[in-house]
Amino acid sequence: MFDFQAVIRYTTTHFRHFIGNVYMRKRFSLGTVILLVVVSVIAGSMLNQLISGDTIYDQLHKFGDVLNYTEKYYVEDVDTGKLTEAAINGLLNQLDPHSVYIPVSELQKVTEDFQGSFEGIGIEYQVLADTLLVVAPITGGPSEALGIQGGDKIVRINDSSAVGITQEGVQKKLRGPKGSRVKVSIVRSGMRELLDFEITRDKIPIYTVDASFMIDGQTGYVSVNRFAAKTHDEFLAAVTKLSGEGMKRLVLDLRSNPGGYLEQAYKLVDEMMPRGRKIVFTKGRRPEFDDEYISSGAGKFKDVTLIILVNASSASASEIVAGAVQDWDRGLIIGETTFGKGLVQRQFDLKDGSAFRLTTARYYTPSGRLIQRPYDHDKAKYARAAFERQETEGENVSHSEERDSTRPTYKTMGGRIVYGGGGITPDYIVKSDHLTEYTVQLRSRNVFLQFADKYLDRHGAELKSRYGKSADKYADEFEVTGPMLAELQALGKTAGATFKQEDFDKDLRYIKAFTRAFIARSLWGNEGSSRVMLREDAQFRKALELFPETDRILSNLSSLK
Query: Would residue 327 show up in a list of annotated catalytic residues for this protein?
Result: yes
Among 143, 185, 223, 316, which one carries the catalytic annotation? 316
Q: Which pairing describes strands 249-253 and 305-310: parallel, antiparallel, or unpaired?
A: parallel
Among 152, 327, 453, 537, which one carries the catalytic annotation? 327
User: 10 Å Cβ neighbour count for 323?
Assistant: 28
Amino acid letter, residue 455: Y
Q: How many residues does the chain have?
A: 561
Beta strands in 366-413 (DSSP E): 394-395, 409-411
| Residue 404, CA distances (Å) to 328, 400, 407, 408, 409 in order | 23, 8, 9, 11, 11
Separation of alpha carbons 125 and 174, rounded Å: 11
Question: H-type helices in 157-298, by residue range?
Answer: 167-174, 231-244, 262-270
Amino acid letter, residue 491: L
Contacts of 98 (CB under 8 A, 6+ apart): 341, 343, 345, 357, 359
The secondary structure of 496-561 as a DSSP string is: T----HHHHHHTHHHHHHHHHHHHHHHHHHHHHHHHHHHTT-HHHHHHHHHHHHHHHHHHTGGGG-
Among 153, 267, 278, 341, which one carries the catalytic annotation? 341
**CB contact at 8 A, 120 and 204:** yes
Burial of 87 (0-12, 13-18, 19+ CB in 10 A): middle
Give the 3-state secondary structure of residue 283.
strand
| Radius of gyration (C-alpha) of the chain in whole angstroms | 30
**CB contact at 8 A, 475 and 517:** no
- Which residue numbers are catalytic? 316, 327, 341
